Structure 1
Amino acid sequence: MTESDVAAVAELKEQWAALPEPAAPDQRRRFAETLASWIERRGASLIARVADHEAELVGMAWLVAFERVPNIDQTVRLTGDIQSVYVAPAFRGAGVGSALVASLLEAADTRGIERITVSANHAAAPLYERLGFRPGEFLFERRRPSSTGLSSP
């Protein structure tokens, strides 16, 4: 991913966040720097894919890979989590998201990543199901309680 890609991906992340107000130029610049640093720190544990149309980024998808605790019979166990898949509204329904995620899965298979998880909304669930994902029967999550003492949704 090039430096100009990082700036464009930062813009996609802003769209993905659906902020109530657009970010200020300085905030946008700082976020692009933060994102570039985050990408650099992840090194080989990060697989990122972007989609472009006429030299404009219109989609992104990320897979963060990490090692699981070794087993006696399998000392290297890799898992991955797909995150921040986003396609600009004008390009949805055209296979862009499927192509991005399929590319992540191909890269994960090449690296020997055994298990991939993703948190999907109702709109994206059919995409993941078409690509072989199934709901996990015993996949649980816990979210940190908010400072008010109430759980986050």
Structure 2
Amino acid sequence: MVERAAYACVEVREAHLGDIARMRTDWTVAQGGAPDPRFEQELRDWWARESAHRRAWVALAGGRDVGAEPAEPAVGMANLMVFERMPRPGRDAGRWAYVANVWVDPAHRSRGVGRLLMTSALDWCRDQGLVRVVLNPSEMSVPLYASLGFRPADDLMRVDL
């Protein structure tokens, strides 16, 4: 029997942005890209602009996050953007979320980290009264999302500019 590490999922604070920058870099390198020494500051600037409309979570190995600095390194992440529809007479505008950038360090995959991240995000969405959550899954992640109740959405179209 393989021993599994305990994990905690916490909402992102400023102290986690360095871990997110590291994970985004690892993800980029794994896909054939190169690290960029300016990236962490770029990510911090982006978060400062976007955080009013976004929520993000990190999964921590060891199951602990103490004080202002994480006690354990982050091994996974997820973020979402909240959209609010333009209101119309007699109808609630409704809010929904787009989930993106769900990633788990390869050494921690198949241990429930992705599920922990997604259940944290979905619980937050339910608590906020959002009406739907959408995402664009990788082939590898489809079984996880299906097990959480996601289904294909055939009613979307797009144009690449």
| Structure 2 counterpart of 1:135, from 142, 146, 152 | 152
Q: Which runs of 4+ in 1 moved over 4 A?
A: none
SS at match of 2:52: helix
| Aligned equivalent of 1:32, options 33, 40, 60 | 40
1:19 positional shift = 4.7
**Code of the aligned partner of 1:33:** Q
| 1:138 counterpart letter in structure 2 | D
Report which structure shows greater RCO (CA 8 Å, sep ≥6). Answer: 2
The residue aligned with 1:56 is 73
Letter in 2 for 1:40: A
2:108 to 67, 82, 91: 91
- Structure with more of its chain in helix, by fraction: 1
Q: What TM-score, normalized by structure 1, do the two folds share?
A: 0.83
Looking at structure 1, the residues matched to 151 and 33 of structure 2 have their Cα atoms a distance apart, in angstroms, of 36
Alignment pair present for 1:41 and 2:49:
yes
In the TM superposition, what whole-angstrom CA distance separates every residue of 1:76-113 from its partner, at most 9, and x where no partner exists?
32121000000000111111001101100110111111
Give aligned pairs, total: 140
- 5 Å matches for 1:77-116? 77-116=94-133
Selected match of 2:93 from 60, 70, 76: 76
**Identity percentage of aligned residues:** 31
**For 1:22 and 1:36, how far apart are their aligned partners in 2?**
19
Q: Secondary structure at the match of 2:140?
A: coil
Q: Distance in 2 between matches of 1:20 and 1:7?
A: 21
- What RMSD, in angstroms, separates the aligned Cα atoms of the two structures? 1.6
Partner of 1:147: none
Q: Distance in 1 between matches of 2:123 and 2:21?
A: 24
Equivalents in 2 of 1:77, 1:106: separation in Å? 17
TM-score by length of 2: 0.79
